[in-house]
Amino acid sequence: MGTRVFGEPVRRREDGRLLTGRGRYLDDLGRDALAAAFVRSPHAHARITDIDVSEALDVDGLVAVYTFEDLPGRIGERLPLLIPHPALTHGRTGYPLARDVVRHVGEPVAMVVARDRYLAEDAAERVRVDYEPLPAVVGIEAASRAERLVHDDVPGNVGAVLVQETGDAAAAIRAAPHVLEFRLAIERSASMPLEGRGVYARWDADDGSLRVYSSTQASTGVRAAIAARLGLPTGKVEVIAPDVGGGFGVKIVHPWPEEILVPWAARLLDREIKWTEDRREHFVSAAHERGQLQDVRVGFDGDGRVLGLDVRIRHDHGAYTPYGIIIPIVTSTQLLGPYKIGAYRAEVVSLYTNTLIVTPYRGAGRPQGVFCMERTMDRIARHLGLDRADVRAANLIQPDEFPYDQGLTFQDGRPLIYDSGDYPELLRKAKAMIGWDGFGAERAAAASRGRRLGIGLGVYVEGTGVGPYEGGHVEIDTAGRVHVSTGLTSQGQGHETVFAQIAAAELGVPIGDVHVTTGDTRRFGYAVGTFASRAAVMSGNAIALACRKVRDKALRIAAEALEADPRDLDITDGVVHVRGDVSAAVPLRTVAVLSNPLRYAFDEETARATQFAVGRPVTEPPIAAGEEPGLEGRDYYSPVRSTFAAGAHAAVVEVDPDTAEIAILRYAVVHDCGRLINPMVVEGQIHGGVAQGIGGALYERMAYDESGQLLNASFMDFLMPYATEIPRIRTGHLETPSPLNPLGIKGAGEAGVIPVSAVIASAVEDAEGVRVDAMPLSPDALHTLRQRAAADPSLIVRAE
């Protein structure tokens, strides 16, 4: 192999354009396009009795207004249920524009197209919609009581009941020496990328083809959906994810109503049309996540070993279920974390409410599962008077127990089998980094000065790199440039850099010669998407496999040119040469010329490949059997099952005895994602995840009132952390390679966020001596907890 680039903190190749304003995000495109704007429901639940667009027609610059009645054939059909599941017996999706009934504030009712966005909004304001308000179902408790229904034909508001089970949990708990029972709650948050959603469509009437740009995490899925709805062959639809200003999960949902309607109208009007989501729209029309109530029953022995665990999870999935029940599946499986839980039963009830849809946000159900398990570990420790880390250690899967079968079915429909890891070492390192063992003295010293400190930790396992597959294509051109493409998309993860590192390492070329394209169906048409910490594992391995094909081919062609055995050849800095003899060499750009036998030369270099120049035997065809012209290769990576990353986080917090403000003094992360491709990029992913975790633990919640109005739908009121709220994050790595894939890597994208709420809850509980059972923990919430504990001693936790 050439210069060592795999595993190095290579600087990002995308930064040059992003730092100079030359990035191209969705709204930077289509300067001359018409603008779309949407009339959205102001009611959480209402029947539409009339829509009058006549006043809107008076707005100069208006081009068209559409309501449900205007949508022909498949355009007006319900949006697809993307991930069906046998347990989702009552899946429901909305229409692109509301038909008769709206079920959440923000549901699109009409689309307006005008010369610019200002005029489109003027017209949208003038569309009069008459509603007959219906009672709204808001919150998990109200949904469970089912006094009112979100969908008339969904009894009990229950979309799905899912059971995950291994062993006889009820019997194990009955037989256990100690039993605890409690309830936990996590509120809603959201991905909240700084760039919202957006779609820009161009219809080419002469060619009968459509080009769509979308700020999406799944351009191939968007393409398939648009082609199906518009009745076009996929070959006539191109979908491109340009630079995307963050996704964090929300942009995996597709097709959004706007992704159907904007291309449809572009074709109908034969005009370019663009829709760029504004922030308020994003709050009420994109998606949220996290909201769950969990009822836990755990049986354990005197050493804190869990013997049986029974969890009933009530999950709020909002008004519709376009993304199925992936989140509660992930919660109920990943809840087990790094532990050997004797017998386990999880029953998920997934409920409809008249609120925005709930689809994966970074972590995708894991933060809730880890919160449940880690709170359980803390409860056991407090109950037995044991050290919280010791209780965890007593339950950990040991390094010699891999592969470890948890006996459940994971989100990819495959067995939940952990491939590799060293969980005790993660825990040991995290304790060392945060100063766990000496903390008693630190807390006491602080207490003597009137300061209230606490320490907490959390351990988690994350299934990453779910299938079914991703692919890679690699082509070396006659200038020696290496073009790498993969179908999945990028939202800031640095794929152009890490995939180039992989290609450079596999091929033996300078990284500067490698050019990576992602999320462009013109370059690669088969893909699944970017979610579930899968891009590096899936596309990284696919690209490596494609590179190996190209490398083998290059060696075969070069061997013929050099009259050498391919097994004696190597590639260094883009030149194929005989090992130990640099004089017998041919550059890859020449190999690329030779790979494509030509009749017509277009320059001096390609003249070498014409039929009177090449030296192949005249008895052989110019292209050998089984070969293809061109120095290129394509391959796919399709894993038998997911690979499991893991980590441990720990924090020290200080709580203000008067104001109940919580400050994080130290935060430590130990992370194991197998072999690191680029440690700088992985650390960046962890930092961002932890910050989102801190947001979810302390600040972020979606404040719906009882009528289903989102009261904090702006950045003024929905509090995301600024630099002043995020402490310095210390990171450490373990590298336990995955045995499942050629590169030995595991996913890293979501890791940072997963255990943060659990860690902060543990630390605040430690500082306060008051039981923490709900997140986020605002000063107000903590103040309430203090008052409750003052009246109810059972809420006071025993010190270690």
Partner 1 sequence: MGEAREDTREDTFEDTREDTFDVALTVNGAHRTARVPARRLLSDLLRHDLGLTGTHVGCEHGVCGCCTVLLDGDPVRSCLMLAVTASGHEVTTVEGLAAPDGTPSPVQRAFRECHGLQCGFCTPGFLCTVTALLRETPRPTQDQVLEGISGNLCRCTGYQNIVASVHRAADLIARSAEEGEA
Contact between 162 and partner 1 by CB under 8 A: the answer reads no
Contact between 118 and partner 1 by CB under 8 A: the answer reads yes
* Residue number, 135 or 246, with CB nearest to partner 1: 246
367 touches 192 (CB < 8 A)? no
Contact between 187 and partner 1 by CB under 8 A: the answer reads no
- By CB under 8 A, the residues from 296 to 325 that bind partner 1 are none
197 exposed, middle or buried (CB, 10 Å; 0-12, 13-18, 19+)?
A: buried
535 touches 519 (CB < 8 A)? no
Query: What is the rounded CA–CA span in Å between residue 731 and residue 684?
Result: 10
Segment interacting with partner 1, rule: CB under 8 A, options 101-109, 129-137, 163-171, 238-246: 238-246
Contact between 691 and partner 1 by CB under 8 A: the answer reads yes
Contact between 248 and partner 1 by CB under 8 A: the answer reads yes
Considering only 6, 12, 380, 564, the residue that binds partner 1 (CB under 8 A) is: 12
* Residue number, 263 or 693, with CB nearest to partner 1: 693
**Beta bridge partners of residue 289, listed in sequence order:** 189
* Residue number, 205 or 716, with CB nearest to partner 1: 716
What is the DSSP code (8-state) at residue 77?
A: S
Considering only 726, 778, 795, 800, the residue that binds partner 1 (CB under 8 A) is: 726
**Sheet with 514-518, side-by-side order of all strands:** 514-518, 482-486, 470-476, 632-637
Considering only 354, 692, 738, 741, the residue that binds partner 1 (CB under 8 A) is: 692
- By CB under 8 A, the residues from 430 to 489 that bind partner 1 are none
Minimum distance of partner 1 from residue 675's CB (angstroms): 19
Contacts of 411 (CB under 8 A, 6+ apart): 326, 329, 330, 333, 463, 466, 532
759 exposed, middle or buried (CB, 10 Å; 0-12, 13-18, 19+)?
A: buried
Segment interacting with partner 1, rule: CB under 8 A, options 168-176, 222-230, 651-659, 677-685: 677-685
Minimum distance of partner 1 from residue 726's CB (angstroms): 5
* Residue number, 433 or 690, with CB nearest to partner 1: 690
Considering only 583, 619, 724, 794, the residue that binds partner 1 (CB under 8 A) is: 724
Segment interacting with partner 1, rule: CB under 8 A, options 105-113, 507-515, 684-692, 702-710: 684-692
Minimum distance of partner 1 from residue 55's CB (angstroms): 12
Structure tokens, 535: 């891009």
Considering only 28, 77, 165, 390, the residue that binds partner 1 (CB under 8 A) is: 28
One-letter amino acid of 797: V
576 touches 554 (CB < 8 A)? yes
Minimum distance of partner 1 from residue 362's CB (angstroms): 10
Q: How many angstroms separate the Cα of 189 from the Cα of each of 72, 658, 701?
A: 36, 27, 5
Minimum distance of partner 1 from residue 205's CB (angstroms): 24
Contact between 57 and partner 1 by CB under 8 A: the answer reads no
First to last CA, the chain: 54
- By CB under 8 A, the residues from 59 to 78 that bind partner 1 are 60-61
22 exposed, middle or buried (CB, 10 Å; 0-12, 13-18, 19+)?
A: exposed
The residue with tokens 């929905």 is: 718
- By CB under 8 A, the residues from 194 to 213 that bind partner 1 are 194-195
What is the DSSP code (8-state) at residue 364?
A: T
Considering only 1, 7, 8, 18, the residue that binds partner 1 (CB under 8 A) is: 18
Phi, psi dihedral angles at 15 (to 5 degrees):
-70, -30
What is the DSSP code (8-state) at residue 259?
A: H
Alpha helices in 296-401 (DSSP H): 326-334, 366-384, 388-395
Please calculate the CA angle 151-152-155 and round it to the nearest 5 degrees. Answer: 85
Left if phi > 0, otherwise alpha if psi is -120 to 50, otherwise beta: which for 511? Answer: alpha
Contact between 130 and partner 1 by CB under 8 A: the answer reads no
Contact between 244 and partner 1 by CB under 8 A: the answer reads yes
Total number of residues that touch partner 1 (CB under 8 A): 58
Contact between 15 and partner 1 by CB under 8 A: the answer reads yes
* Residue number, 66 or 718, with CB nearest to partner 1: 718
Considering only 141, 278, 405, 581, the residue that binds partner 1 (CB under 8 A) is: 278
Considering only 494, 519, 529, 540, the residue that binds partner 1 (CB under 8 A) is: 494
Structure tokens, 232: 């076009």
Minimum distance of partner 1 from residue 687's CB (angstroms): 4
Query: What is the rounded CA–CA span in Å between residue 526 and residue 521?
Result: 8
Considering only 7, 156, 684, 779, the residue that binds partner 1 (CB under 8 A) is: 684
- By CB under 8 A, the residues from 696 to 715 that bind partner 1 are 714-715
Considering only 94, 540, 689, 708, the residue that binds partner 1 (CB under 8 A) is: 689
* Residue number, 18 or 614, with CB nearest to partner 1: 18
DSSP string across 558-602: HHHHHTS-GGGEEEETTEEEETTEEEEEEEHHHHHHHTS-BSS-S
* Residue number, 60 or 153, with CB nearest to partner 1: 60
Helices and strands, number each (H, E), in the chain: 19, 29
**Residue numbers at the binding site for partner 1 (CB under 8 A):** 11-12, 14-16, 18-25, 27-28, 31, 60-61, 116, 118-119, 122, 192-195, 243-246, 248, 278-279, 491-494, 680-681, 683-684, 687-692, 714-716, 720, 722-724, 726, 728-729, 752
